[in-house]
Amino acid sequence: MTGKTIKETGTPLEDYDLGPVLISGITPPVEGDTESDGALGARHVEHDLEVLLLGFPDQVLDTEIYLIWNNPHAPVDYLIIQPENQGNRFFSLMVDKEQILPEWAEVYCLIRRPSGNTSKTKPLRLRVKRNRPGDPDQHSESGHRGLVFYLPPDLEAGSHVDMARAERGVTLEIQPWEYMAEWDTCRIAWGSKIVEKVVAAASKNLGIILRPQ
């Protein structure tokens, strides 16, 4: 945390004139998710997070760069352009891992020049989830005991999938898991094929049904 605060300016926070910051390893939004620009998961909070601001026009000495993480008046990091970094192709700023909290992060940079002119990067709206699906399972080497699915009764009893059975279809019932959330993606290997199902809001506490083709 920087301890810096930003005074009110006449520039509306909705305005921006620069492209978004870059964060390595962001998970792209799932198809159909129109609310986010991506997601941060448990691996992103194992250490402090680096955010890169690409170089911008008019890098005047003593220009202040603020990294905003949700609170527009309390930057999480900042730097000042000095002779040694003037003209950089990018600027590196950091977010303490403790500040990366569920469930949303709006991330952008504010740039304030000595003249008072300001610039702003396009905000990134990111989903934040710190917990791993199913929670850690410390006692199973053959698979996570908190991630459970059931085959149809005939297959559970030892039957096999021949052509006739395949034509009827096979339904897999996936049980809810700890920390199940909307937009989680469940992937099951069915032979050489990977079957995917995205968790909808209505099913996040009820489990989901998969039908491999």
Both tokens of 102, joined, read 């569920």
Query: pLDDT tens digit string along 31-68?
Result: 899 999 999 999 999 999 999 999 998 899 999 999 99
Cα–Cα distance for residue pair 51/107, rounded to 1 Å = 9
What is the helix, strand, coil percentage profile of the chain, to 5? 10, 30, 60
Higher pLDDT, 149 or 1: 149
Q: In sequence order, what are the beta bridge partners of 51?
A: 93
Pull the structure tokens for residue 44.
């992103």
Percent of the chain at pLDDT > 70 equals: 85
Measured distance CA(143)–CA(135) in Å, rounded: 13
**Other Cβ atoms closer than 10 A to 208:** 19
pTM of the complete model: 0.79
Cis peptide before 35 (omega within 30 of 0): no
Hey, what domains does the chain have and what are their CATH numbers? 1-132 (2.60.40.1930), 149-210 (no CATH)
pLDDT digits (tens, 9 = 90+) for 93-132: 999 999 999 999 999 999 999 999 999 999 999 999 998 8
Query: Residues 11, 121: contact at Cβ < 8 Å?
Result: no
